[in-house]
């Protein structure tokens, strides 16, 4: 079965027509940025000279912001107090065109507010002050929340529960929401806070971080296998379809019920601020699954979204354009460095990439006259892996395959054109009629060809699959053919 590819543009179009119902604990996040200048004489603590401040919609409200930023609509249900912070949150949410908010007001409690003091130069959090009442909502407020939530479920494609343990997601609210969603066939994602996962029974996906997972399962969660082993029992307990464990700089591990676990390494990024990264992950998962993505695609979307979020200051949202740039990043090497002339160079690069835990993909062809059909295959191939190697038939190989009047461009020219493409990380010229020797040498994790081939026709599929890799077939773009273009250019007509 061919592995799915991440066609980001098609997925983004599907996301734009989806609605996420997000329920959870909203909070006002304030960030005060300044320079640490000295140590306070009154106490052994640094003095920060405030220079600027920012206000963000935080907690579950940040999940809603990310859902909207990624192109979907969000219906948000939360709880605020009858105070200035609650009014500021309501006003901020009203300014987001993609968010419809239903804020239940509880006059007996303050709106959750968090103020962080951050060193501007070092991007280091020096202090956080919280104003909150982290108690379950009263019976009356609980009833108001349930009455607000239930009619909204039918309008959503997916339900997301963002639990910060501030009082919104009581056991009763959770139970009513999940049961109603299941009756309507709506998937439910839970970003859990309670260690008793039985209260989330019936959810589709749980997304704990490593600490939450370890405490809930009483496991070390220090390897993929230990996460898989611990997940089996809790998935039965929670009657969920999958668990995604976020591991910070170690990436993410997804364990589907009855399927193979998938681990993705974190993107190599400079971390500026991890505030709200979990919100971004939950939002990316929700919009992807709502749009019909499979587990693997949703996982890769969430991983890329987290990498964008931690590179920003404050409680950040991630746009679809930023996510696209991360998923289809700029080429790893400069064009002149991408053409491999020595086998040792290829081997050294493969060792380095695999040391980083990167998934290497491979495709091949003559690429005599590059056209939009080629570009589509190469872009899709790059979307299916972390680094893409293109095998290029040599001039002698092309002549044997295409005839004495081909190639139109020599191998160096063809290699340079391919190397200039953002989607291509390495170009390797091979002399044989097929790339079987090159595929054996590389043993890629992903082998990509156009959809005019069947899996059995793809050269090297046995080698790749025997090593645990996958074959990806990309639908070809109709109306483009190098042979037809050459014929036309030589005066042969259409």
Q: Give the catalytic positions in this structure.
A: 279
3-state secondary structure the chain: CCCCCCCHHHHHHHHCCCEEEEEECEEEEEEEEEEEEEECCCCCCEEEEEEEEEEEEEEHHHHHHHHHHCCCEEEEEEEECCCHHHHHHHHHHHCCCCEEEEEEECCCCCCCEEEEEEECCCCEEEEEEEECCCCCCCHHHHHHHHHHHHHHHHHCCEEEEECCCCCCCCHHHHHHHHHHHHHCCCCEEEECCCCCHHHHCCCCEECCEHHHHHHHHCCCCCCHHHHHHHHHHHHHHHCCCEEEEECHHHCEEEEECCCCCEEECCCCCCCCCCCCHHHHHHHHHHHHHHCCCCHHHHHHHHHHHHHHHHCCCCCCCCCHHHHHHHHCCCCCCCHHHHEECCHHHHHHHHHHHHHCCCCEEEEEECCCCCCHHHHHHHHHHHHCCCEEEEEEECHHHHHHHHCCCCCCCCHHHHHHHHHCCCCCCEEEEECCCCCHHHHHHHCCCEEEEECCCCHHHCCCHHHHHHCCCEEEEECCCCCCCHHHHHHHHHHHCC
Residue 212 marked ligand-binding = yes
Residue 393 marked ligand-binding = no
Residue 88 marked ligand-binding = no
Residue 325 marked ligand-binding = no
Residues placed in the known binding site for ATP? 209-212
Residue numbers in the known binding site are: 209-212
């Amino acid at each position: 079965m061919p592995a799915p590819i991440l066609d980001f543009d098609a997925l983004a179009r599907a996301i734009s027509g989806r609605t996420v119902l997000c329920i959870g604990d909203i909070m006002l996040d304030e960030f005060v940025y300044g320079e640490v200048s000295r140590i306070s004489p009154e106490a052994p603590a640094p003095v920060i000279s405030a220079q600027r401040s920012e206000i963000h919609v935080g907690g579950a409200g940040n999940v809603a912001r990310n859902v909207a930023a990624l192109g979907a609509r969000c219906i948000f249900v939360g709880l605020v107090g009858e105070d200035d912070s609650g009014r500021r949150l309501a006003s901020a949410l009203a300014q987001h065109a993609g968010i419809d908010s239903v804020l239940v007001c509880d006059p007996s409690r303050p709106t959750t507010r968090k103020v962080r003091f951050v060193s501007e130069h070092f991007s280091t959090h020096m202090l956080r002050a919280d104003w909150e009442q982290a108690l379950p909502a009263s019976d009356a407020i609980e009833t108001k929340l349930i009455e607000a939530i239930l009619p909204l479920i039918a309008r959503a494609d997916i339900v997301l529960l963002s639990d910060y343990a501030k009082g919104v997601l009581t056991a009763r609210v959770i139970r009513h929401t999940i049961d109603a969603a299941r009756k309507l066939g709506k998937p439910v994602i839970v970003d859990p806070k309670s260690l008793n996962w039985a209260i989330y029974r019936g959810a589709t996906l749980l997304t704990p971080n490593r600490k939450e997972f370890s405490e809930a399962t009483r496991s070390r969660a220090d390897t993929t296998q230990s996460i898989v082993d611990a997940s089996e029992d809790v998935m039965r307990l929670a009657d969920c379809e999958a668990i995604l464990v976020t591991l910070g700089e170690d990436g993410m591990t997804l364990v589907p019920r009855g399927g193979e676990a998938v681990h993705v390494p974190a993107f190599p990024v400079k971390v500026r601020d991890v505030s709200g990264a979990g919100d971004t992950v939950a939002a990316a998962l929700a919009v992807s699954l709502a749009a019909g993505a499979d587990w693997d695609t949703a996982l890769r979307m969430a991983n890329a979204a987290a990498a964008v979020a931690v590179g920003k200051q404050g409680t950040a949202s991630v746009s679809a354009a930023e996510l696209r740039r991360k998923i289809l990043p700029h080429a790893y090497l400069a064009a002149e460095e991408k053409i491999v002339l020595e086998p040792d160079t290829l081997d050294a690069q493969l060792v380095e990439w695999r040391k980083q835990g990167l998934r290497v993909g491979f495709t091949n062809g003559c690429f005599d006259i590059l056209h939009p059909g080629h570009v589509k295959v190469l872009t899709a191939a790059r979307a299916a892996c972390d680094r893409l190697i293109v095998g290029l038939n040599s001039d002698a190989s092309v002549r044997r395959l295409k005839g004495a009047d081909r190639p139109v461009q020599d191998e160096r020219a063809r290699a340079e054109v391919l190397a200039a493409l953002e989607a291509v990380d390495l170009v390797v010229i091979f002399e044989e009629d097929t790339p079987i020797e090159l595929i054996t040498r590389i043993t890629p994790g992903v082998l990509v060809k156009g959809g005019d081939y069947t899996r059995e026709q793809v050269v090297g599929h046995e080698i790749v699959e025997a090593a645990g890799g996958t074959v990806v077939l990309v639908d070809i773009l109709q109306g483009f053919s190098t042979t037809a273009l050459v014929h036309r250019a030589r005066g042969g007509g259409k």
